């Protein structure tokens, strides 16, 4: 795990920084020039492999939500492929380019964020002992001395802040769906009796992507039940002995969720699986959100197709945007939305717009079913 690679003094330095900040606010007089100069000498962490979620917010275009997503993606990365900035939900190509430029300007390697290959410099550890010395100087200059009894409370506050759930992760729970051939690991949010939105994933992603992006929480907030599954052999789902056939597997997953039908959201590889379900069991699909899906060339539309929202990134180099109209021609009544300047994983480039489009579409779909 990458989290274990942080230097031993990391937590101490972070605690010292918090105490320094709080002490500055409480000081009744200005610290001496010597203290100010010593504070200015403290190193700033520029290695994203070691930054805390709070420190990641110094990256361009990264706020609290994205900082949390970066930290979770980095610390949870277990694949053999390097984790690059575009793989983090919500980063997108434009923000990834800005982050790389920012890192290069400060002497740090731009990629990868995590993985086997690494070009990051290693001589970037904090001087945690120096940070504590500065803290002592600062406290003395304020006419105060640190109290031994304050340390456990301060450490508890730091732990509480680090573990506090964000809106994107709160009330998301793990579950297991039993299907023919094995079990599917899944994440769910929302009322179990509410209309079901089933979320699939692309080949480079997993169910966790929808939690990190905030999609599970966004759908649950609208009153629906959102379930994101890990396809066999991906994420937390073990590979099945035999390669599963997409349509029967998804139909079984919907049944395992306690539903007859679902609005299915599928990007890329997952979109190809969703198309297979539409072709073979359209009665199980209340609506389809296909995001630059694979398998368009082999898709045979049924006589009656469900409502469909087809999403593409304008700059998709994997499944060209021209394929959107080809798929729309096979699905009468479907709606095509092109996200400007977005890439293949357009939902990661424009999460706010993506959530707006999906929730609006789902509202219409479920209103028709009432």
Residue 29 has pLDDT above 80, yes or no: no
Helix (H) or strand (E) holding 21: helix 10-26
Residue 42 has pLDDT above 70, yes or no: no
What pLDDT digit, counting tens, does each position of 315-332 carry? 999 999 999 999 999 999
Distance CA 370, CA 366 (A): 7
Name the DSSP letter for residue 114.
Answer: B
Most confident of 5-14, 35-44, 71-80, 343-352: 343-352
Give the CA distances from residue 363 to residues 222, 223, 286, in Å, rounded to whole numbers and listed in that order: 9, 10, 11
Q: Write down the pTM of the prediction.
A: 0.62
* Fold of the 173-369 domain: Rossmann fold (3.40.50)
Catalytic site positions = 268, 316, 344
> Domain boundaries in the chain?
2-163, 173-369
């Amino acid at each position: 795990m990458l989290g274990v690679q942080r230097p031993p003094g990391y937590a101490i330095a972070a605690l010292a920084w918090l105490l320094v900040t709080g002490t500055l606010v409480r000081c009744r007089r200005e610290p001496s020039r010597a203290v100010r100069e010593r504070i200015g000498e403290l190193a700033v962490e520029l290695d994203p492999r070691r930054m805390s979620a709070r420190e990641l917010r110094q990256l361009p275009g990264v706020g609290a939500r994205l900082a949390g997503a970066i930290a979770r993606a980095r610390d949870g990365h277990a694949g053999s492929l390097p984790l690059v900035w575009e793989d983090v939900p919500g980063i997108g190509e434009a923000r990834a380019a800005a982050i790389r430029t920012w890192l290069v300007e400060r002497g740090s390697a731009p990629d990868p964020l995590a993985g086997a290959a690494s070009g990051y410099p290693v001589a970037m550890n904090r001087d945690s002992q120096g940070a504590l010395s500065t803290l002592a100087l600062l406290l003395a200059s304020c006419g105060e001395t640190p109290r031994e009894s304050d340390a456990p409370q301060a450490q508890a506050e730091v732990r509480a802040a680090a573990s506090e759930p964000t809106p994107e992760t709160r009330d998301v729970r793990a579950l297991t769906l039993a299907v023919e051939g094995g079990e599917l690991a899944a994440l769910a949010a929302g009322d179990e009796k509410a209309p079901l939105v089933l979320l699939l994933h692309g080949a480079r992603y997993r169910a966790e992507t929808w939690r990190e992006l905030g999609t599970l929480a966004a759908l649950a907030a609208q009153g629906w039940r959102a379930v994101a599954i890990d396809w066999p052999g991906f994420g937390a789902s073990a590979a099945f002995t035999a390669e599963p056939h997409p349509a029967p597997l998804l139909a079984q997953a919907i049944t395992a969720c306690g539903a007859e039908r679902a609005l299915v959201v599928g990007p890329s590889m997952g979109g190809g699986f969703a198309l297979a379900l539409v072709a073979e069991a359209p009665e199980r699909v209340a609506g389809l959100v296909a995001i630059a899906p694979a398998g368009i060339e082999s898709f045979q539309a049924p006589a009656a197709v469900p409502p469909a929202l087809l999403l593409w990134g304008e700059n998709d180099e994997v499944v060209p945007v021209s394929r959107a109209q080809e798929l729309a021609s096979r699905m009468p009544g479907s709606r095509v939305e092109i996200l400007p300047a977005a890439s293949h994983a357009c939902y990661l480039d424009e999460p706010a717009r993506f959530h707006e489009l999906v929730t609006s579409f789902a509202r219409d779909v479920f209103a028709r079913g009432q």
